Amino acid sequence: MLKKIRVWDLPTRLFHWLFAIVITGAFITINLDETELHAKFGYAACILVIFRIVWGFVGPEHARFANFVPTLGQLKAFIKHPVHDKLGHNPLGALSVLGLLLVVLVQTSSGLFTDDEISFQGPLSHFVSSEIASWLTGLHEFNSNLIYALVGLHLLAIFYYQKVKKQDLIRPMLTGDKDLSSEDTNTPTALNPSKDHWGVRGLALVILVVIATGFYFLVIKK
């Protein structure tokens, strides 16, 4: 019999797809030389990444860092014997999540201090000397390659699970549910679903609004 278990709460799923959209938007717009629009996608990415970090502490079961960030021992064990008996991210997937969040955090933070020496100055660039702004602009340019690399790796890993391991990770990121009968022999033993009721979703909305408002007044409007 099919048994559906909620693994990704709605806020985490919305975060994921919006994150993918705004990062793609930031890459497209900078390549079209639309720097103002690029910065707007960048602000959205910054708000989302801060939201995801907070959600990693207060969100439900499988969104919490405490429940998926592996110890070194767990990581080594998974590399030797890649079986994952829990519902959420596996130890390697967890590393990729942390990596993606970190590189985007560096990208958006450095973006706020950029100065392209033509027409655009990041909203916080006047708080630092022109040498530091130019160093951070260089960091912004360099770090964008790490985003390309990690996103590429992320997509390859998802494709590998889909095609080679015959595990559909994409559908749960869309619907929220894992279908346990379609799992391979690595059936999760810890069947603790993520809470995803309207109280949880309301909390996420409040957190997002607080972060976005704070960001608008403290960073953009400053």
Q: Under the rule (CB under 6 A), what is the footprint of ligand HEM? A: 12, 15-16, 19-20, 23-24, 26-27, 30, 35, 38-39, 42-43, 45-46, 52, 63, 89, 93, 97, 100-101, 104, 107-108, 111-112, 114, 116, 120, 122, 137, 140-141, 144, 147, 151, 154-155, 158, 169-170, 173
Dist CA 43 CA 47 (whole Å): 6
Is the CB of 85 or the CB of 141 nearer to ligand HEM? 141
Dist CA 89 CA 66 (whole Å): 12
Cα–Cα separations (whole angstroms), residue 132 to 81, 84, 136, 137, 156: 46, 44, 6, 8, 36
Is the CB of 77 or the CB of 135 nearer to ligand HEM? 135
State the Rg of the chain over Cα. 19
Number of residues assigned to the chain: 222
Biggest CA–CA distance in the chain, Å, is 64
Is the CB of 27 or the CB of 77 nearer to ligand HEM? 27
Q: How far apart are the first and last CA of the chain?
A: 57
CB of 198 to ligand HEM, least distance (A): 20
Is the CB of 148 or the CB of 213 nearer to ligand HEM? 148
CB of 127 to ligand HEM, least distance (A): 13
